[in-house]
């Protein structure tokens, strides 16, 4: 299914999947990324916010404002039930129309970039919305895992796969860089022996044996370049500042 229809259907059970291993790994990885940046009194924009899976964690860090964008009306309905006063908008990842230029300090996007066909327009929009020195915290399905298929769920006894795109890590970094977003840190979550018990508790040991050594998800921290002050001296060509 296309992402909007797929997530509309998935929204009724999305928050009930407590045993979803990818969701658990993503929450751990996102928590580490979030701990690297100061959230308190900063404006946070969640792109592809879904049901607000990370909102409790973000709100506990006391941002000055938290805004969500998602194209799925079903997912946003679930978010509003959990956070009645939420500021949310139904919109795609490359159209943050309610956020002015340089209107936020942090852009986050978790397990959503694989549903964005054109990275260039998305990163251009995120950079537009970010203040200089602002941060992008991104998690997504690792391209190695995504190339084998990802993002599926069961509904009415059938397996539903949501359309996705495979973006290499190099492509993500290069595209972000074209819009002034510099890589701070990249972390890949690889299936190893430390995860064996997590697979076993879900009766998934056969999957563990097949996936051992395979990266499942990744997290990236980008930072928007700070423009030099007007009249500031510039380094000579070929000289690193």
Q: Is residue 240 situated within a structural domain?
A: no
Q: Is residue 31 situated within a structural domain?
A: yes
pLDDT tens figures, 179-211:
999 999 999 999 888 888 888 888 888 888 888
- 106-120 mean pLDDT: 95
- 81-105 mean pLDDT: 96
pTM of the full structure: 0.89
The pLDDT, as a whole number, for residue 234 is: 44
CATH number at residue 133: 3.40.50.150
* DSSP string covering 180-219: TEEEEEEEEEE--GGGHHHHHTTT-HHHHHHHTT-EEEEE
The pLDDT, as a whole number, for residue 208 is: 83
The pLDDT, as a whole number, for residue 236 is: 40
Under a CB-based contact definition with an 8 Å cutoff, are residues 106 and 224 in contact?
Answer: no
Q: Is residue 233 situated within a structural domain?
A: no
Evaluate if residue 230 carries a pLDDT over 50: no
pLDDT tens figures, 210-220:
888 889 999 99
Evaluate if residue 231 carries a pLDDT over 70: no
The pLDDT, as a whole number, for residue 153 is: 86
Evaluate if residue 137 carries a pLDDT over 90: yes
The pLDDT, as a whole number, for residue 232 is: 41
**Of 96-105, 181-190, 228-237, minimum mean pLDDT range:** 228-237
pLDDT tens figures, 41-89:
999 999 999 999 999 999 999 999 999 999 999 999 999 999 999 999 9
The token duo for 176 is 């972000």
Q: Is residue 231 situated within a structural domain?
A: no
The token duo for 44 is 């946070």
Q: Which residue range forms the structural domain that includes residue 150?
A: 3-224
pLDDT tens figures, 6-37:
999 999 999 887 667 888 899 999 999 999 99
Evaluate if residue 235 carries a pLDDT over 70: no
CA separation, residue 194 to residues 21, 29, 31, 128 (Å): 13, 15, 19, 40
Q: Is residue 156 situated within a structural domain?
A: yes
Q: Is residue 238 situated within a structural domain?
A: no
Q: Is residue 22 situated within a structural domain?
A: yes
Evaluate if residue 239 carries a pLDDT over 70: no
Give the residue with greater pLDDT, 195 vs 235.
195
The pLDDT, as a whole number, for residue 56 is: 95
d(CA 214, CA 212): 6
Measured from the Cβ of residue 34, the count of other Cβ atoms closer than 10 Å reads 21
Distance between alpha carbon 141 and the CA centroid of its chain, in Å?
9
* DSSP string covering 113-178: GGG-S-HHHHHHHHHHHEEEEEEEEEEEE-HHHHTT---EEEETTEEEEPP-----HHHHHHHHHT
CA separation, residue 224 to residues 116, 178, 217 (Å): 21, 11, 23
The pLDDT, as a whole number, for residue 228 is: 53
pLDDT tens figures, 140-164:
999 998 887 768 888 888 999 999 9
- Look at the chain and report how many structural domains it folds into: 1
Is beta strand 65-70 parallel, antiparallel or unpaired with respect to 43-47?
parallel
DSSP 101: T
215-224: strand order across its sheet: 87-90, 65-70, 43-47, 104-110, 130-141, 215-224, 181-190
The pLDDT-based confidence of 101 (bands split at 50, 70, 90) is very high
Q: Is residue 230 situated within a structural domain?
A: no
- 221-236 mean pLDDT: 65
């Amino acid at each position: 299914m296309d992402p909007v229809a797929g997530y509309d259907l998935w929204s009724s059970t999305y928050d009930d999947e407590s045993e979803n291993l990818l969701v658990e790994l993503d929450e751990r990885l996102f928590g580490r990324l979030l701990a690297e940046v100061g959230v308190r009194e900063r404006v946070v924009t969640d792109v592809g916010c879904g049901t607000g899976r990370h909102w409790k964690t973000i709100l506990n860090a006391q941002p000055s404002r938290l805004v969500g964008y998602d194209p799925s009306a079903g997912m946003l309905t679930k978010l509003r039930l959990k956070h009645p006063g939420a500021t949310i908008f139904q919109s795609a990842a490359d159209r943050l129309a309610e956020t002015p230029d340089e209107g936020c300090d942090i852009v986050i996007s978790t397990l959503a970039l694989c549903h964005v066909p054109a990275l260039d327009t998305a990163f251009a929009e995120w950079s537009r919305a970010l203040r200089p020195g602002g941060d992008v915290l991104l998690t997504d399905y690792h391209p190695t895992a995504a190339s084998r298929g990802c993002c599926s769920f069961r509904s009415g006894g059938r397996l539903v796969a949501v359309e996705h795109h495979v973006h290499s890590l190099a492509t993500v970094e290069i595209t972000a860089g074209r819009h002034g977003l510099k890589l701070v840190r990249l972390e890949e979550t690889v299936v190893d022996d430390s995860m064996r018990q997590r697979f076993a508790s879900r009766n998934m040991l056969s999957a563990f044996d097949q996936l051992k050594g395979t990266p499942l998800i990744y997290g990236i921290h980008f930072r928007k370049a700070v423009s030099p002050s007007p009249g500031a001296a510039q380094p000579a060509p070929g000289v690193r500042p």
